[in-house]
Amino acid sequence: MNNGLILLIEDEAALRKNIAEIIEHYGFRVMSASTGEEGIKLAEEFIPDIIISDIMLPGIDGFEMFGRVKQLPQLKRTAFIFLTAKSTRSDARAGMNMGADDYLTKPFTKEELINSVRTRFEKLSKLNEHQLENNELIDATSNNLSSLTKTEHKVLNEISEGRTTPQIAQKLFVSKKTIENHRVNISRKLDLSGPNSLIKFALRLKTRKPSRSPSDDTISSSSIQKK
């Protein structure tokens, strides 16, 4: 899996340039920053697959940057590789304990760098496969749609349009409590559990093409597409 995006945070200009060149040479895209603050900004905006960061940085250090970036939900899956001087090896272990994925002790070879990067990407693509399996699960769930009542379909449709419970209640001229009950029933019928799983399902349903046409008087997923 090439063409992944790597964010490199290193304050030593020569080393930064050198690492960036190696990474690019192997087909990855790289974006560089010289401080942790700058790195956080780039990470927030571009959502890299991997962040490679020196620990010793001017301003906030690699650990603090890591701690802050880990709090951003869109970067939950971003992998971290720390760069460390020999004298800070114990620091690197501390970083691993914090949840970093790997560390490279300076000076490291081109092979060590690329191997570490490739391992991270392989793990990320396994995660993607897992995601695909989840999509199949959603397809299976879609087949239970015929068990929903007309009103439940309406509610599901409104959810897929991004409306909240109070908004749906207002639109369908019923109480919020009624909509909440519908949501519970829909989730139960579709076997959805966990936070926001109904919303996620509804949104995915909206973007999905209807896989079959209605065969009887029950409403199939295609009715959700039309609105």
Query: Rule CB under 5 A: which residues touch Ca ion?
Result: 11, 54, 56
User: Residue 12 CB, nearest distance to Ca ion (Å)?
Assistant: 6
- Answer whether 41's CB lies under 8 Å from 132's CB: no
Q: Which is nearer to Ca ion, 48 or 62 (CB)?
A: 62
Bridge partners (DSSP) listed for residue 80: 51
Q: Which is nearer to Ca ion, 56 or 172 (CB)?
A: 56
User: Residue 13 CB, nearest distance to Ca ion (Å)?
Assistant: 11
Which burial class, exposed, middle or buried, applies to 66 when counting CB atoms under 10 A from its CB (0-12, 13-18, 19+)?
A: buried
User: Residue 220 CB, nearest distance to Ca ion (Å)?
Assistant: 59
Residue of this chain nearest to Ca ion (CB atom) = 56
Half-sphere exposure in the Cβ direction for 136 (13 Å, CA): 6
Separation CA 17–CA 13 (nearest Å): 6
Residue 177 belongs to what H/E stretch? helix 176-189
User: Residue 87 CB, nearest distance to Ca ion (Å)?
Assistant: 12
Alpha helices in 59-175 (DSSP H): 62-70, 89-98, 110-142, 150-160, 165-171
Using only the alpha carbons of the chain, give its radius of gyration: 24
Q: Which is nearer to Ca ion, 56 or 114 (CB)?
A: 56
User: Residue 56 CB, nearest distance to Ca ion (Å)?
Assistant: 4
Q: Which is nearer to Ca ion, 55 or 192 (CB)?
A: 55
Q: Which is nearer to Ca ion, 64 or 161 (CB)?
A: 64
Residue 203 belongs to what H/E stretch? helix 197-207
